[in-house]
Amino acid sequence: MSREISVDYLARVEGEGALYLAIDGDKVTDLRFRIFEPPRFFEAFLRGRNYLEAPDITARICGICPVAYQTSSANAMEDWLGVELEPGVKQLRHLMYLGEWIESHCLHVYMLHAPDFLGYQSGIHMAKDHPEAVTRGLRLKAAGNRLMQLLGGREIHPVNFRVGGFYRAFEKAELAALTHELEWGREAAAETVDWVSGFPFPDIEIDYEFVALRHSDEYAIVEGRIVSSTGLDLAVSDWPAYFAEEHVEWSNALHARRIGGGSYQVGPMARYNLNFEQLHPAARAAAVGAGIAGGTRNPFRSIQVRSVELVHAFATALELIDAYQPPSAPYRVGSVAAGTGHGASEAPRGLLYHRYQLDGEGTIVDARIVPPTSQNQLRIEDDLRLMVPSLVQLPDDELKWRLEQAIRNYDPCISCATHFLDLRVERHVSR
């Protein structure tokens, strides 16, 4: 007797992916998280381009997190050029990144992930019964977009980002105009933590290796060193010495793993568990209320973690605006010479690593880009393998939905990872 389940296109994720699962009794015999998003070959056509083009070109890898691509690529170029950013420019970079975090986290928490917990096909379906929550979520999301519109010119593929800084800087009054909405957002984000904390969470704890950036002075987003829950503490340029990507037949996204080791997790859970003490006090207070202040290894609770990070983002944005001092110039230039630059930042979904090799004219000779979803891909497969045995008694439709939810715990961005979901389960019952 055999049982086959198929979901051919995973919904509510960014991009195209699928899952194939074969079960014998309650044992998983095969599990493949497939990314069939067509390859677009960014690393290939970056060769021959000028270094100043990298932020605009790599932004197009992902419409959900363009600021992450712009930041990691600019970090790499500024590393190569030896350019140190002015404090005011650093504040603007941080503020713009928080805008993207707010937009992306609100999209995932309210429109993509919450419907799983409350049993709706989409956020739009959910809005009929939960109009207050969805309206709050959309207004929060709009607040993030407003930050990006101001600082970047537009929310998707912002135009103001430049290697060395920005094309134009801002007066303090321009930023202060956002304060009122951000103050509302800080309170509404705390309400979001309370709202999602009432959701039903499956009882599961997984022993993850978490990997994230850490910064001496702040909850690392824009820059930092690479640290892990097993004690790694690395310069960004050491990424290739400790991690490797492999190409498997069933996926157009490369699978990253620890060299000599297995899967690991990047993203909100990793940042939260590694750097909890550096969260804004308002975010830590919200975490206490949510009952996860000691950290959490339950992947379904990632929706609470994202919500706590939202509180952090709004509270930190307000402080940045308050402390902002306009820079003397919008950008700095460095001296071009043949060399290599490494850059990383914390995209909403996790660590995003870029490396560029450049010639003496500033032309890109070689590029390497490792998005968060390629790093989480192997870990997602491991999570599903662990969860399936306790779920096999569920009817096909429910099993399918629960596995989709487990994948959405990671907010996978498949468009990024393809350098991703149809879900198919095959059951064989051996007697």
Partner 1 sequence: MAAKLAVWKFASCDGCQLSLLDCEEELLTVAAAVDFAYFPEASRAEDPGPYDLSLVEGSITTRHDAERIRKVREMSRYLVTIGACATSGGIQALRNGADIAEFISTVYASPQFIDTLASSTPISDHVKVDFQLRGCPINKYQLLEVIGAFLADRRPNISSHSVCVECKDRGTPCVMVADGIPCLGPITHAGCGAICPAYRRGCYGCFGPADTVNLPSLKNWWHRLGVSETDITRALRTFNVNAPEFAEGSAKRVP
Residues 275-334 that bind partner 1 (CB under 8 A): 330
Nearer to partner 1, 124 or 177 (CB): 124
What is the spatial distance between Cα 177 and Cα 175, in angstroms, rounded to a whole number?
Answer: 5
DSSP label at 231?
A: S
What DSSP element (H or E) covers 350?
strand 350-358
Report 104-133 residues binding partner 1 (CB under 8 A): 107, 111-112, 115, 121-125, 127, 131
Where on the phi/psi map is residue 100: left (φ > 0), alpha (ψ -120 to 50), or beta? alpha
Tokens of 45: 């056509």
Q: How far apart are CA 187 and CA 4, in angstroms?
A: 46
For residues 312 and 326, give the distance between their C-alpha atoms in angstroms, rounded to a whole number. Answer: 23
Question: In the complex, what is the shortest distance from the CB of residue 147 to partner 1, in angstroms, rounded to a whole number?
Answer: 13
Say if CB 357 and CB 405 are below 8 A apart. no
Q: Which is nearer to partner 1, 381 or 404 (CB)?
A: 404
Least separation in angstroms between residue 291's CB and partner 1 is 29
Q: Which residues in 124-183 contact partner 1 (CB under 8 A)? A: 124-125, 127, 131, 134-135, 138-139, 141-142, 145, 153-157, 159-160, 162, 167-168
Least CB distance from residue 124 to partner 1, whole Å? 5
Decide if residue 419 touches partner 1 (CB under 8 A): yes
Considering the complex, state which of residue 24 and residue 43 has its C-beta at the smaller distance from partner 1. 43
Q: How many residues bind partner 1 (CB under 8 A)?
A: 71
Closer residue to partner 1, CB minimum distance, 379 or 419: 419
Answer for which of 15, 55, 164, 341 binds partner 1 (CB under 8 A) is 15
Distance (Å, rounded) from C-alpha 69 to C-alpha 74? 8
DSSP single-letter state for residue 38: P
Window 25 to 84, contacts with partner 1 (CB under 8 A): 37-45, 47-50, 53, 56-57, 60-64, 66
Asked if 354 interacts with partner 1 (CB under 8 A), we say no
Residue from 415, 417, 425, 427 binding partner 1 (CB under 8 A): 415
Among positions 13, 212, 313, 370, the unique one binding partner 1 when judged by CB under 8 A: 13
Burial 213-240 (b: 16+ CB within 10 A, else e): bbeeebbbbbbbbbbbbeebeeebbebe
Among 247, 277, 294, 335, binds partner 1 (CB under 8 A): 247
Q: Using the rule CB under 8 A, which residue among 16, 86, 346, 381 binds partner 1?
A: 16
> At its nearest, how many Å lie between partner 1 and the CB of residue 428?
26
Choose which of 254, 283, 387, 399 interacts with partner 1 (CB under 8 A).
254
Burial of 360 (0-12, 13-18, 19+ CB in 10 A): exposed
CA 314 to chain centre: 17
Burial class (CB in 10 A: 0-12, 13-18, 19+), 253: buried
Yes or no: say if 212 and 271 are a contact pair by the CB < 8 Å rule.
Answer: yes
What would the x/- binding string for partner 1 be over residues 365 to 404, using CB under 8 A? Answer: ------------------------------------x--x
> Which one among 14, 79, 382, 411 touches partner 1, defined by CB under 8 A?
14
Q: CA triplet 347, 246, 415: central angle to 5 degrees? A: 40
